[in-house]
């Protein structure tokens, strides 16, 4: 079976974990956590990056830092992972879902303005598949209505929009280093902060409501409980694992992009004949090959396609069930405007095997299976 995903493993991970053990420092904010934070800040030109226990934790921190009051609303796409939504529900917000664009599966920037009310506080964007949302239009809207922007850039590490790294464009950027993401520490993530006025509150939030980070910097002579908070800092063992990958981030990125481009070239003929649809990367977006998806004509064809690939030893998978139609989505939010694309497009999408180290031979088997399905599918659907 060709797996849909395999977590990245570069080889130096175990050595760095051993190093952390030798340091006698395996809790949070040790040497490797600091190295990872500094790397993220340097590479993405961010004034502050903090590793977290997950992408979800980074979203929770961002949501808490937005200082949502009861009744406040948050606008987000319905086509996303539950974490994008649940982080803001925990912070006390009502969710207002909007439609996506069919070309990128990202929030439709033109649907946002009509969803804004007097209670709107935050726009949350999700850079699906590591392809940027239309951030110029979105940040302009946010300034016009005095709203915060949170980027769920869980899939967007190493991607950019008009030269700006994803995660550094809004007020807060959230990365994920889950094993299914491009760079991994098993479970983990990072919060990127745009305005330095949020740095200390974020440190307090992450360190159980204490000013321990100030203490370690020698800015106070003892640390104490100063505000509400939680434990959002990962073990240095996990950071050591991640460090091995950040060090080789360009190798991972190039390997994934090569696979992505091979898929794209192999299927462009089928796309030209309108047998399937391919992902769109708009002008100005540099992506990170987080995902390779294609779209069938509808649900029935997709179900048959996934089964067909499975019979040929290829694992493929669909993606999000729109949140507004999920039980919790109905409970915590509403859909603003019309669901023109979200449900229809979510039923067409299929993700193919994509991971660091996918071999050319394995990928050729995937490509061959896809091509043979669509060679005969027109008569069946």
Ligand X SMILES: *Cc1c(COP(=O)(O)O)cnc(C)c1O
Tell me the catalytic residues.
181
Minimum distance from CB of 45 to ligand X (Å)? 23
Helix (H), strand (E) at residue 1: none
Query: CB-wise, 81 or 318, nearer to ligand X?
Result: 81
Minimum distance from CB of 164 to ligand X (Å)? 19
Q: Which residues pair with 292 in a beta bridge?
A: 352
> Token pair of 356, please?
């660091």
Minimum distance from CB of 242 to ligand X (Å)? 12
Query: CB-wise, 189 or 333, nearer to ligand X?
Result: 189
Query: CB-wise, 96 or 124, nearer to ligand X?
Result: 124
Minimum distance from CB of 282 to ligand X (Å)? 18
Query: CB-wise, 125 or 276, nearer to ligand X?
Result: 125
Query: How far is residue 37 CA from its own chain's centroid?
Result: 18
Closest CA relative to residue 290, chosen from 281, 282, 298, 299:
281
Specify whether the CB–CB gap between 112 and 138 falls below 8 A. Answer: yes
Triad 183, 352, 302: Cα angle to 5°: 140
Give dist(CA 106, CA 126) in Å, integer: 7
Of all residues in the shown chain, the one whose CB is closest to ligand X is: 55
In this structure, what are the phi and psi dihedrals at residue 207, rounded to the nearest 5 degrees?
-110, 50
Residues in touch with ligand X (CB under 6 A)? 54-56, 80-81, 83-84, 126, 152, 154-155, 176, 178, 189
Would you call 87 exposed, middle or buried from its count of C-beta atoms within 10 A (0-12, 13-18, 19+)?
buried
């Amino acid at each position: 079976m060709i797996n849909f995903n395999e977590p990245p493993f570069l080889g130096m991970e175990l050595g760095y974990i051993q190093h952390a053990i030798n340091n006698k420092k395996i809790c949070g904010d040790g040497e490797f956590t600091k190295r990872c934070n500094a790397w993220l800040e340097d590479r993405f030109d961010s004034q502050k990056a903090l590793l977290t226990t997950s992408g979800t934790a980074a979203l929770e921190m961002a949501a808490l830092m937005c200082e949502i009051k009861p009744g406040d609303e948050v606008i987000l796409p319905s086509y996303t992972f539950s974490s994008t939504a649940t982080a803001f529900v925990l912070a006390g917000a009502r969710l207002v879902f909007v439609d996506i664009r069919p070309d990128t599966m990202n929030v439709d920037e033109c649907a946002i303005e009509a969803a804004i009310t007097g209670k709107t506080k935050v726009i949350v964007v999700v850079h699906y598949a590591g392809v940027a949302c239309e951030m110029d239009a979105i940040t302009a809207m946010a300034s016009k209505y005095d709203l915060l922007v949170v980027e769920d850039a869980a899939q967007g590490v190493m991607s950019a929009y008009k030269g700006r790294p994803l995660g550094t464009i809004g007020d807060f950027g959230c990365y994920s280093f889950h094993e299914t993401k491009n760079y991994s520490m098993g479970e983990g993530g990072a919060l990127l902060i745009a305005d330095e006025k949020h740095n200390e509150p974020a440190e307090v939030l992450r360190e159980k409501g204490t000013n321990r980070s100030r203490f370690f910097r020698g800015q106070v002579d003892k640390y104490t409980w100063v505000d509400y908070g939680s434990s959002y800092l990962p073990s240095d063992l996990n950071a050591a694992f991640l460090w091995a990958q950040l060090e080789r981030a360009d190798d991972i990125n190039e390997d994934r992009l090569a696979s992505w481009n091979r898929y794209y070239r192999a299927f462009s003929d089928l796309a030209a004949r309108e047998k399937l649809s391919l992902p769109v990367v708009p002008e100005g977006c540099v992506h990170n090959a987080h995902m390779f998806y294609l779209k069938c004509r509808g649900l029935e064809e997709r179900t048959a396609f996934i089964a067909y690939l499975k019979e040929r030893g290829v694992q493929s998978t669909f993606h999000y069930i729109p949140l507004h139609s999920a039980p919790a989505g109905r409970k915590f939010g509403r859909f603003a405007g019309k669901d023109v694309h979200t449900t229809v497009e979510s039923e067409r999408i299929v993700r193919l095997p994509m991971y660091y180290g996918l071999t050319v031979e394995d990928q050729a088997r995937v490509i061959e299976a896809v091509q043979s399905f669509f060679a005969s599918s027109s008569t069946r659907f």
